[in-house]
Amino acid sequence: MPLTPQATPTTYWLEHAWLGTHVEPGVTVDVADGRLTALHKGAATPPPGAVVLRGLTIPGLANAHSHAFHRALRGTVQVGSGTFWTWRELMYSTADQLTPDSYYALARAVYAEMALAGITCVGEFHYLHHAPGGTRYDDPNAMGQALIAAAADAGIRLTLLDTAYLSAGFGAPPNRHQLRFSDGTAERWAQRADGIEADREHVRIGAAIHSVRAVPAEQLGTVADWARERQAPLHVHLSEQTAENEACLEEHGRTPTQLLSDHGVLGRRTTAVHATHLTDEDVALLGDSTTGVCMCPTTERDLADGIGPAARVQDRGSPLSLGSDSHAVIDLLEEARAMELDERLRTRTRGHWTAAALLRAATADGHAALGWDDAGTLEPGALADFTTIALDSVRTAGPLPRLAAETAVFAASAADVRHTVVGGRQIVRDGVHTLVPDVPTALAESIAALRG
């Protein structure tokens, strides 16, 4: 059952609502044609006929960085030790198994898990374009179309960040695993990306540069121009590893951030993912160009990448968003609190972001990074995408309701999500997905199929 906006006008009664700056008790919101049409405060009890959402309702969470197939690695990559680079070899072996059909099944289950976690929109950093060995499918965008269908059938919105991935590293040809990622040149990447059929309510198309090591410097501008001409979001993995920085300096005499700046990649529609190992000049280039930064703390710590300078880049002018990336866990509340707690460990001081600021990164700023500027707030005219977090679980019971935002960010988990509404429709009701009734089984079966 694909995602379609709620056609019949509906009223929701929110026991408590986060309105961007504070928690408001007793709020009703009217929904028609998938958007909020009115918001009324002071409703102490539900009006007749209203759908009752008890707990704290916040705008839907935006997962700004996802690799859906990495979900199949959960648990497996926790055996033994190693580095990002040894993890990557395991990732390649999983990628080699995927077909359009198996990718659809896995992604549908992963996106349903996201809906259960209160995520209403995901940015899929998509580079699994072709068959193993690089052979094109009859539909060159079959893998992307599988993701588009999966998001629709899981009931969430999708920004498909179609990714240019052309090189094994600074001009080296793709290795045997990477052949299915590569279009050969940025021009051929753009031709294929132009053919993505995405005339559907739930999807928008953006672009991505996998990294400066995977797209030759002279072709970076082609990808940036494609996104700029379409006013589409552009994402890029940036300085995730010190080895990438060192190789870029050796090849170009520039840091990755400087190289992106030289080729017109930075700007307000661009989001740098990770940005873990930055120089002071890098921070200035990102902030002064209002390039966004997407932090993925659970993946960054799982892969031992390091702690990115989130506070510094935001102070300089970069808006922050959050992503679950490799899906070591899928929990945007955990990503939000991890950003603050990691900064506490680094600085040995507390309180770098308020709960409101962390929720903004997880909602409005995340949606903006994905090209959904009309989502991420509870106000008339916005898309009717929101989620409700229980305030009576073993994690959340006790604090005063006016502290519900602090409770959600610093105590709650994805397990506390009770309801998720997308386009005015309840996709999750009382903790149960309405379109994918048994999400654990869907995950287990789709992952088992990849083991042969």
Confidence of residue 4 (pLDDT cuts 50, 70, 90): low
- Catalogue the active-site residues: 274, 325
Does the structure show a pLDDT above 70 at 6? Answer: no
Confidence of residue 452 (pLDDT cuts 50, 70, 90): low
Does the structure show a pLDDT above 80 at 78? Answer: no
The mean pLDDT of the chain is: 95
Quick check: pTM over 0.75?
yes
Task: For the chain, state the CA radius of gyration.
Answer: 21
Q: What percent of the chain has pLDDT over 70?
A: 96
What confidence score (pLDDT) does residue 3 get?
62
Q: Degrees (nearest 5) of the Cα angle 332, 407, 358?
A: 45
b (16+ CB within 10 A) / e for 96-111 = ebbbbebbbbbbbbbb
C-alpha 45/C-alpha 243 separation (Å) is 58
C-alpha 35/C-alpha 12 separation (Å) is 12
What sign results for the dihedral spanned by CA atoms 143, 148, 151, 153? negative
C-alpha 367/C-alpha 376 separation (Å) is 6
pLDDT (average), residues 223-248: 97
Does the structure show a pLDDT above 80 at 5? Answer: no
Confidence of residue 43 (pLDDT cuts 50, 70, 90): very high
What confidence score (pLDDT) does residue 9 get?
73
C-alpha 170/C-alpha 46 separation (Å) is 60
Confidence of residue 154 (pLDDT cuts 50, 70, 90): very high
Does the structure show a pLDDT above 50 at 1? Answer: no
C-alpha 95/C-alpha 14 separation (Å) is 42
What confidence score (pLDDT) does residue 75 get?
84
38 - beta bridge partners?
30
C-alpha 436/C-alpha 445 separation (Å) is 13
- Residue linked to tokens 């006016």: 402
What confidence score (pLDDT) does residue 84 get?
65
Alpha helices, DSSP H, located in 117-230? 142-154, 186-194, 217-230
Whether 212 and 244 have beta carbons less than 8 Å apart is answered as yes
Does the structure show a pLDDT above 60 at 2? Answer: no
